[in-house]
A and B are shown apart, each in its own frame.
Chain A
Amino acid sequence: MLYLTRKAEFSASHYYHNPDFTPEENARIFGKCNNPNGHGHNYTLEVTVKGAVDPRSGFVVDLKQLKDVMNREVLDALDHRFLNKEVPEFFRRIPTTENLAIAIWQRLEPKLKAAQLHRVRVYETPRTGCTATRCRRRRTVRPTASATIPMGTGTTTWSRSR
């Protein structure tokens, strides 16, 4: 099994607000992120796919195809968008990095044909990010949140999970 990770970057804005909370609760729980005028992030996305190496091509997946799927399914939909207002997944759900990782997983998985999706990692800042992987037991997508992720290293330690 060979794992291929493709990185991409996008910028988007969002704010955190749950209409079921009182204004005080929203302010207390979400703090500055509750400002309805939003704030922006430069996100880094890492998509990892896995599969056997095709003995004829030497590829696990055609990188060009993977790039096209990521551009079409994720970047075109999220880059330079106000997530709460322009991306249907977040009309009701809060656009946290956790939910963003799950949404990206759900957008990509049905479109990947040659290789299998292994992991979606979204960095909101260079120090904080979130990973979605398939939960083997329940066959659902499981997000893992983390602070202090050493970017660009191969040995990443996930300090916090939920």
Chain B
Amino acid sequence: MVEITVSGPVDEPTGMVCNLVDLDRFVGKEIIERYDHQSLNLLPEFKTNVPTTENLCVAIYEIVKRRFGQAHLEKVRIEETMMNSFEYAGEGEKL
């Protein structure tokens, strides 16, 4: 399971930080389509990096950071199993 957390001021007319439909569509197109049912080892970002959940977390963070402009990206969290999860919020100690 992947969780994307974004933040920002609540827009007065819409009452939204960002339109969830847009975020959902973005994640579907840019993240799910890219990684779902793929062999991660064959993707260019894992040519030299081992496709650990740590590195997948960073890769997803970089995509959202670069291409989703509607709100500030806080963090990406991946639940690898029920017992293990990984979070990345950019360089430095953000959490």
Contacts and interface: CB of A to CB of B under 8 A. Distances in A.
* Chain B contact patch, size range: 20 to 34
A50 B85 CA distance: 12
A4 B88 CA distance: 9
Interface string A120-162: 0000000000000000000000000000000000110000000
A4 B77 CA distance: 10
Contact of A1 (B5, B49, B91): B91
Interface stretch (B14-22, B23-31, B50-58, B62-70): B50-58
Interface in A45-65: 50, 53, 55-60, 63
Contacts of B54: 2, 4, 53, 58-60
Contacts of A1: 88-89, 91-95
Contacts of A155: 5
A5 B95 CA distance: 13
A59 B77 CA distance: 15
Interface in B33-77: 49-52, 54-55, 57-58, 75, 77
A118 B87 CA distance: 12
Interface residues of A, number: 20
Contacts of A118: 95
Given A53-B54, A53-B55, A60-B54, A5 B49 contact: no
A4 to B, nearest CB: 5
A6 B52 contact: no
Nearest to A153: B3
Nearest to A3: B87
Contact of B51 (A2, A8, A58): A58
A58 B49 contact: yes
Interface string B1-15: 001010000000000
B83 A8 contact: yes
Given A8-B83, A58-B54, 7 more contacts: A2-B87, A2-B88, A3-B86, A4-B86, A7-B84, A50-B93, A154-B87
Interface of A: 1-8, 50, 53, 55-60, 63, 118, 154-155
Nearest 6 A-B pairs (CB), nearest first? A58-B50, A58-B52, A3-B87, A154-B3, A7-B83, A154-B77
Interface of B: 3, 5, 49-52, 54-55, 57-58, 75, 77, 82-89, 91-95
